[in-house]
Structure 1
Amino acid sequence: MAGPNTPPGVEIVRPQVPGAEQILTPEALALVADLHRRFGVTRGDLLARRAARQRELSTGADPDFLPETSDIRRGQWQVAPPAPGLVDRRVEITGPTDRKMTINALNSGAKVWLADFEDANTPLWENMISGQLNLRDALAGTIGFTSPEGKAYTLAATATTSPAGATGASTTTTTIVVRPRGWHLDEKHLLVDGEPVAGAIVDFALYAVHCGRRQLDAGSGPYYYLPKTESHLEARLWNDIFTHTEDALGFPRGAIRGTVLIETILAAFEMEEILYELREHCAGLNAGRWDYLFSIIKKFRDRGEAFTLPDRNAVTMAAPFMTAYAELLVRTCHRRGAHAIGGMAAFIPSRRDPAVNATALAKVREDKTREAGIGFDGSWVAHPDLVPVCREVFDGVLGDRPNQISRTREDVTVDAAALIDLTTTPGSPTLAGLRNNVSVALQYLRAWLAGSGAVAIFNLMEDAATAEISRSQIWQWLHNGVVLVGDSGTADVPVTRELVERVVAEELEVLRAALGESYDAAGFARARDLFVEVALADDFADFLTVPAYQRMP
């Protein structure tokens, strides 16, 4: 469908959703088309490079620091100083861009809100459009929401203070950083010259056009979290897109900033090069711990026992290979003048169970204390009630300083072997772990296919990374002949297709009994079919969200 004001070659292959005309403007669509035509081929080449690298790993090659970029690692260079609103990042809250979450995140007291179009979001066309509208309205100070129960949500007074000299603009005490989709996902509803555009380009461009100038006028800027990066060449692509967009929209050079999530094992070997590629547009690196685990399982899925991890819940940041990754990230960032941001605390506080809260909050505090002690400049939480805990921990280390970038961690030495030595990880794969993986994945996928990407499961706020770990771990166990530690008093159990299918059926019955009349039989049937496809097929799907997206309208 092309309207009279749609740029040539652009087609929207979906009926308009409410408010779409305010977002899919000629200017915005023209930038989307321009970026696709200039950079789409490079994106395709980089995705092909990922596939070639996977073939090398599957046949026994180990990743290493790149010899051809050793001069960059030895060189004396720094990234640009932190941008306005990104100097102090001691607490960051994450969540999808629905209206309620937008308001709650901006009222939370966190320094940064990761406004998520990726793993905590389902890419329904309605979600992608409404999320952009919500960000625009939040920055205009006009956003409001009333729940079906009649509860009203509005921005707090401190979150709607207009900065001096910014006519008609509003800002918040929380800096918005948008996470677009990863390079692997297309946006099937928007075509340019008959081709689907990368979801990453769509999300990036729409926000830059509708909110970039407003952010600059308010003394901030259009900032992004860059997900699923696997190489410095992918960071170079983002830098080229940033530079071109600044020229196209008349933004100052360096106005657009990107924080790269180091959530793939290959990116861990190219952190310095990633910072170098983004120098003038760099806002630091983040330790995306859950997708990092998924990446390790995925990349080494064919490599046997030495690359097999214990139960998902047993792998913590205290595992030697995870500690090596975290300390190397901090050292790399601080050596180059960049922020190092820690990982997610996903616990959801319960107002009905003080004992559960006390135990979980103690673990959150322990986790954040470890991160602050290692040298991170801030960390993530998934719920507003965790903001005070995270802030208190980092306040205790930072004091009046906005960050601890000056702490360069020259004491840290991490070699290539330490990043991929999984054999020292405590714990074992267990039958209980298999059941948990199945149950969590089924619950998450049912919600995802229904349009929700951030899902409360067992007192944790889960996103797509959890489902990815769960299904990839089962695939790895199945295809590598893993034997699970049985339940108490039972024998050990080899992982077979029949075992997994039986556990799937049993866990569905557990959910049916627990949910009673609210059990969504059709939704769980769809989730089951998708889960079996991505967990048990002979060929491993690189991302479950790709076949999941194909099932959506």
Structure 2
Amino acid sequence: MDTQQHQEAQADSLQLAVGSLSPDYQAILNDDAMAFLTALVSQFSGRLDDLLARRETRQREFDNGKLPGFRADTADIRNDKSWRIADIPAPLQDRRVEITGPVDRKMVINALNSGAKVFMCCFEDATAPSWDNMVQGQINLRDANLGEMCYFDDKRQKEYVLNDDPALLIARPRGLHLPEQHIQYQGKSIPGCLMDFGLYFFHNYQTRAAKGLGVYYYLPKLESMEEGQWWADVFRFTENYFGAQTGTIKATVLIETLPAVFEMDEILYAMRDYIVAMNCGRWDYIFSYIKTLKQHKDRILPDRHDVTMAQPFLTAYSQLLIATCHQRGALAMGGMSAFIPSKDPEEMKQVLEKVIEDKERESSNGHDGTWVAHPGLVDTAMTVFNQRLGGKPNQLDYLPSAANDITAADLLAPCEGHRNEAGVRKNVRIALLYIEAWIRGLGCVPIHGLMEDAATAEISRANIWQWIHHGVTLDDGQLFTTELFRQWLQQEVDSLKLEQTDNSQNRRFDDAAKLFDELSTSDEFAPFLTLPSYPLLVG
């Protein structure tokens, strides 16, 4: 091979932008795995760039006054009631309670042992995408699929071992927008979603096939039918690459963006060979409502803590998702209960009451299953859905009649609630604590009795940006300004520093506050806080 040919070959292969790799990491990033990743990236990254550019174009239209709505050019797909998705494999038909969590080894074991039907293991919002987290996460999921997983906690002097009947494992790769800066292709960071998807399939499809299982994924933050088609093409390419049967890969799509709720039929149609369910990703959906309609002064949401699933626009979202999915033979999954157990009996009683209320609403609406964030709440959610389902695995035969009358206006309707100092300060504190943890490598953080991930921090900073941007008047008559926000922000930072008891953690409150200030006061709204946070991430 001459010099020019060698340079061209180098340009068309993946380059690791990291130093030495441990033997464990080398096993994950072996030559065959990297060859497959190269094939994926070369085939699909250009199309992905076009899809992301399309998002920006559509968002500019919304910023200029247009409202999201059902597409005229795809009306035939929606109006044709005859088509269905492919049959749902038996292991995916009963998903009445799913637990979610990061790729951390101990948490993976605890989640798989929790008694939930499914564990959604998250490379996305619940995991900060440091290099170690991403590669070690692949090691952890490989070992979980092999059934060879244990962990010894030196601090607690306790061993964690996978039991004989773990939950069904589903992996969630990063969103389409997130890059992986440690692997380059033609001088550019590769899409993080292709790294997560590709490495997980490569290392686990044979192990799972030997158990009669396919390779299952949760797909986050889709916005359009075209993005669903992109994933379907990635799946088809992958199955062909490995000679696997069509439908080896199955996916659940999170409907957690406002644009996507108007294209659910279309996404199901584009992915009909691969999709098995849709999920109400409620927290990201609230964030997306604010982001999509951020320039619409008549649709400013109140404090995030008043925006519950009881609000009419969220009830419409839930009911429409259920009806759309069941019409097409897909499961309709409910959303996250972010509560975590409390050691205080009175607080724990309130937690259980809230979880039961939430899950009773979801099950009676017609959802086939739900999410919890902590093993201690699996039994509570399971009891509610057991009572609703009886001996059935799901509610696929249920079509909510109320969904027939849901309009675009229902899905876009604003809601009332508080706009006060207490809510702002709570948002500031949650966002500070989360961003500070994220840039230290933690993507899933317990804060004030809730398991917070990137989605809830996104709501907090979007809420504040919109209020500042539109000059909202608070309930007490104060005008919410940049100056007032910065005053409260600094007070919360000072308070958190005083509360810090463990000085060994090298906390980064000043870095978090600087970034949070920029995100909240900039003239331009950053589409995702994880993008400007990524350069600050340790590792």
1:17–1:465 distance in 2 versus 1, CA, 3 Å: farther
State the alpha-carbon separation in 1 of the partners of residues 10 and 252 from structure 2.
Answer: 32
Structure 2 residue matching 1:181: 3-state secondary structure: coil
Deviation, 1:514, is 2.5
Q: Does 1:337 find its partner at 2:329?
A: yes
- Deviation string 1:335-370 (CA, Å, 9 cap, x unpaired) is 00000000001111022x011110011000000000
1:228-239 to 2 correspondence within 5 Å? 228-239=221-232
1:390-539 to 2 correspondence within 5 Å? 390-412=381-403, 413-422=405-414, 425-486=415-476, 492-516=477-501, 518=503, 522-539=507-524
**Higher alpha-carbon deviation: 24-33 or 85-94:** 24-33
Q: Does 1:20 find its partner at 2:5?
A: no
Aligned residue for 2:98? 92
TM (norm. structure 1) is 0.93
Q: Does 1:155 find its partner at 2:148?
A: no
Aligned residue for 2:3? none
Deviation, 1:6, is 9.7
Structure 1 runs not aligned, ≥5 long: 160-171, 487-491
Aligned residue for 1:168? none
Deviation, 1:408, is 2.0
Q: Is the 8 A contact 2:334 2:369 kept in 1?
A: yes
Amino acid at match of 2:362: E
State the alpha-carbon separation in 2 of the partners of residues 7 and 139 from structure 1.
Answer: 34
Q: Is the 8 A contact 2:118 2:168 kept in 1?
A: yes
Q: Does 1:197 find its partner at 2:190?
A: yes
Aligned residue for 1:295? 288
1:188–1:517 distance in 2 versus 1, CA, 3 Å: closer
Residue 122 of structure 2, aligned match among 116, 131, 134: 116
State the alpha-carbon separation in 1 of the partners of residues 112 and 11 from structure 2.
Answer: 35
Q: Is the 8 A contact 1:79 1:279 kept in 2?
A: yes
Q: Is the 8 A contact 2:174 2:192 kept in 1?
A: yes
Amino acid at match of 1:139: N
Structure 2 residue matching 1:483: 3-state secondary structure: coil
**Higher alpha-carbon deviation: 77-86 or 234-243:** 77-86
State the alpha-carbon separation in 2 of the partners of residues 195 and 427 from structure 1.
Answer: 45
Structure 2 residue matching 1:197: 3-state secondary structure: strand
Residue 543 of structure 1, aligned match among 519, 524, 528: 528
1:127–1:411 distance in 2 versus 1, CA, 3 Å: same
Count of matched residue positions in the alignment of Structure 1 and Structure 2? 527
Aligned residue for 1:11? 15
Aligned residue for 2:263? 270
Deviation, 1:518, is 3.9
Aligned residue for 1:350? 342
Structure 2 residue matching 1:433: 3-state secondary structure: helix
Structure 1 residue matching 2:508: 3-state secondary structure: helix
Q: Is the 8 A contact 1:82 1:283 kept in 2?
A: yes
Q: Does 1:325 find its partner at 2:310?
A: no
State the alpha-carbon separation in 1 of the partners of residues 68 and 429 from structure 2.
Answer: 33
Aligned residue for 2:134? 128
Q: Is the 8 A contact 1:132 1:206 kept in 2?
A: yes
Structure 1 residue matching 2:15: 3-state secondary structure: strand
Deviation, 1:51, is 0.4
State the alpha-carbon separation in 2 of the partners of residues 547 and 462 from structure 1.
Answer: 19
Aligned residue for 2:220? 227
Q: Does 1:378 find its partner at 2:363?
A: no
Q: Is the 8 A contact 1:117 1:179 kept in 2?
A: yes
Aligned residue for 1:311? 303
Structure 2 residue matching 1:44: 3-state secondary structure: helix
1:90–1:243 distance in 2 versus 1, CA, 3 Å: same
Amino acid at match of 1:88: D
Q: Is the 8 A contact 1:258 1:283 kept in 2?
A: yes
Structure 1 residue matching 2:308: 3-state secondary structure: coil
Amino acid at match of 2:296: R
**Higher alpha-carbon deviation: 320-329 or 21-30:** 21-30
Deviation, 1:283, is 1.4
Q: Does 1:62 find its partner at 2:67?
A: yes
State the alpha-carbon separation in 2 of the partners of residues 509 and 39 from structure 1.
Answer: 47
Structure 2 residue matching 1:452: 3-state secondary structure: coil
Aligned residue for 1:169? none
Q: Does 1:137 find its partner at 2:128?
A: no
Q: Is the 8 A contact 1:7 1:30 kept in 2?
A: no
Q: Does 1:208 find its partner at 2:201?
A: yes
Deviation, 1:426, is 3.2
State the alpha-carbon separation in 1 of the partners of residues 20 and 363 from structure 2.
Answer: 46
State the alpha-carbon separation in 2 of the partners of residues 518 and 93 from structure 1.
Answer: 32
**Higher alpha-carbon deviation: 311-320 or 215-224:** 215-224
Q: Does 1:361 find its partner at 2:334?
A: no
Deviation, 1:8, is 5.7
Q: Is the 8 A contact 2:436 2:507 kept in 1?
A: no
1:17–1:452 distance in 2 versus 1, CA, 3 Å: farther
State the alpha-carbon separation in 2 of the partners of residues 399 and 99 from structure 1.
Answer: 34
1:130–1:533 distance in 2 versus 1, CA, 3 Å: same
For the aligned residue pairs, the C-alpha RMSD in angstroms reads: 1.6
Structure 2 residue matching 1:363: 3-state secondary structure: helix
Q: Is the 8 A contact 2:319 2:402 kept in 1?
A: no
- Deviation string 1:283-307 (CA, Å, 9 cap, x unpaired) is 1100000000000101111111x21
- Deviation string 1:406-457 (CA, Å, 9 cap, x unpaired) is 11224422111100011xx231211111101100000001110000000000
State the alpha-carbon separation in 1 of the partners of residues 243 and 91 from structure 2.
Answer: 21
Structure 2 runs not aligned, ≥5 long: 1-5
State the alpha-carbon separation in 2 of the partners of residues 518 and 376 from structure 1.
Answer: 45
Q: Is the 8 A contact 1:309 1:428 kept in 2?
A: no
Structure 1 residue matching 2:94: 3-state secondary structure: coil
